[in-house]
Structure 1
């Protein structure tokens, strides 16, 4: 038997257990029935030999099937053993049993179970062919008109139909599971693509758009080294974004490694901010190990928050603090500047919404902004771990 999907494999495993239980239990019951009628048997030695053969075969059948799984040759061997017993029918049961109705002798029990097991082990039409062979051997071994062969044929037809329906249902279930798995994979790929797009937008906002905004507001009105340096840095960002999947594949291993949050924050805090007023930052951070992408997201969000302080707060000082909380961390950026009303920030302003809040959401964290005009601003970044 061939198993493809999980539903088919489960069906095959359960069917194998059923065949083993039926074969071993029927052999035990058949042996008891045969020994009880041994006194009236025409050939006791034939009966003892037949019982021994059935018990030995049932043991081999059970061990091999449970250890090695389905095997077509063992299914065929089961049919061969049953055919031999049916051909020796007249020697293995008392004459009074031969003239009785079907199902009263131990050979009937063995034949009935073999017909059922054949539909499990053998593919159609081989299972039904095995049923016809067993019924024919039964008729040849016990000549005369009787209903037993007809019962065996009907049993084979019914059990074959049952197994065909079960296998079709299992294949249909596997097809549904495959379709759902593909849908989940496509959804995950789409989500990853959207997340990558948002990350690119954040990086462009933090670099290129910030430079263009500085130029458009008149902060730089003529050629300057500051503008040249910022343009060169922005160009490097654009080239890095264009590298695409190759850079992502190269950095995948390092991104999975833990990183020192305090070191990442120190780099972001004391990085140069060309074209903006100088900012003195009081920095305190306890050593914390976090996943690489999380530490990077926190550092980038802090860098954007400090850029906003330098650009909008009207102050030259700020504080950045970081501390571990459970398996995660909390980072705060505070300033005593002019403050603002977060509810009045226009929708097209993406600094806090994407470069801070969006970055934290992308790594499973969150950000909050507390501010009001004249009272400074507190940006709190949390990653729960």
Structure 2
């Protein structure tokens, strides 16, 4: 069985509803014509039975077509009802109508509606098979092969052609939707891969490259006891990246406590760097896990910069609600720096802080000047 896309399913539902409305309208109109135009050789009993049966069947099929996805037996049943009425054609309409060159009686209305309905709701070739059955029954039960029979065949061909064009358009729409969905999925996959790559680069900068920088500046000598400890911590990060190359995104939007994460960052000893006396003012606050991770890693990088570059042992970490989001600040009263003079290849603030916040839809900025300390602000709003 072929899988139908949303456009094809929508066309199928709309066609079924249109067929139901068409059948109901035709049945009411045909019944009125049958009663008002009753004349010999039409028999009143036959007309009464036919009209009551048509109205009852129409009520049933209309309700089922409008309320749910119709079953194939409904379509077969509708064709059968129309065929029976066409076979009884000679006993249901006046002689003048029966002898007319073009079908103008109430049975002709029912036959035409049955043909249109079959094309709307049945797949080919079943739709044309139903139309042929109705046309043959009309010809046998009525005036024989006349203009009306030809009109019925032409109606079937026209309705089938229209439905074929609509179905072709629906298939093309589904194909376009599928291609768009595939393109979006590929773009998301590329974005996720790029995000993972950037996350790994930021972790490497915050650990391995930071250690190399400290060694290069002479803050840690090769004989220092802190060097093996820091190298071991960096190696643990490398091993974790190798063991878990992808980011676990199934919990990215789960709530996590920001205050706990930031307190952990503050209490974590920065191996090989001077200890900091950090004032901590962060109220209990839950945010999405990915946001908490970006904020805590950004704060960790800012505190590392304070310990390494600010020439001060004091810092302050604060957080406050900002609407539905949060603003986190890391401040110090150290030597400060000129943000505009930072070389483009330096990745500390640019990637480890700014980049991390952009990745979760937030922002960050550093306000500083030589001799005036530094304030790093991280903001996030849903």
1:322 aligns with 2:319: yes
The alignment partner of 2:248 has SS state of helix
What's the CA shift for 1:179? Answer: 0.3
| Unpaired runs of at least 5, structure 2 | none
CA distance in 1, matches of 2:145, 2:161: 27
**Aligned pairs (5 A) from 1:175-254:** 175-244=175-244, 248=248, 252-253=250-251
In 2, distance between residues paired with 1:101 and 1:245?
80
1:97-117 CA distance string (max 9 Å, x none): 111242321100000000111
Query: Is 2:277 aligned against 1:280?
Result: yes
Structure 2 length-normalised TM: 0.95
Report 1:1-385 matches (<5 A): 4-144=4-144, 146-244=146-244, 248=248, 252-253=250-251, 255-385=252-382
Q: Distance in 1 between matches of 2:247 and 2:351?
A: 23
Which is worse superposed, 59-68 or 355-364?
Answer: 59-68
Q: Where in structure 1 are there 5+ consecutive unaligned residues? A: none
CA distance in 2, matches of 1:145, 1:261: 84
In 1, the alpha carbon distance for the partners of 2:275 and 2:61 equals 84
- Change in CA separation of 1:149 and 1:3 when aligned onto 2, cut-off 3 Å: farther
Greater displacement, 143-152 / 229-238? 143-152
Distance 1:144 1:281 in 2: 102
Number of matched pairs: 382
Q: Distance in 1 between matches of 2:145 and 2:41?
A: 22
For 1:196 and 1:89, how far apart are their aligned partners in 2? 75
**How big is the shift at 1:384?**
2.0
Query: What CA deviation, in whole Å up to 9, does each residue of 1:224-262 have, x standing for no partner?
Result: 32111111111111111112267727xx44x54322222
**Are the aligned partners of 2:99 and 2:143 in contact in 1 as well (CA < 8 Å)?**
no
State TM-score, norm by structure 1: 0.94
Paired with 1:221 and 1:145, the residues of 2 have a C-alpha distance of: 108
1:144 CA displacement: 4.3
Q: What whole-Å deviation, never above 9, does each CA across 1:43-77 have from its counterpart, x for those lacking one?
A: 21111111112111111211232344232222122
Structure 2: distance between partners of 1:293 and 1:42: 80
The structure-2 alpha-carbon separation of the partners of 1:68 and 1:370, relative to structure 1 and needing over 3 Å to count, comes to closer
Shift of 1:146: 2.5
Deviations 1:149-170 (A, max 9, x none): 0100000010011111110110
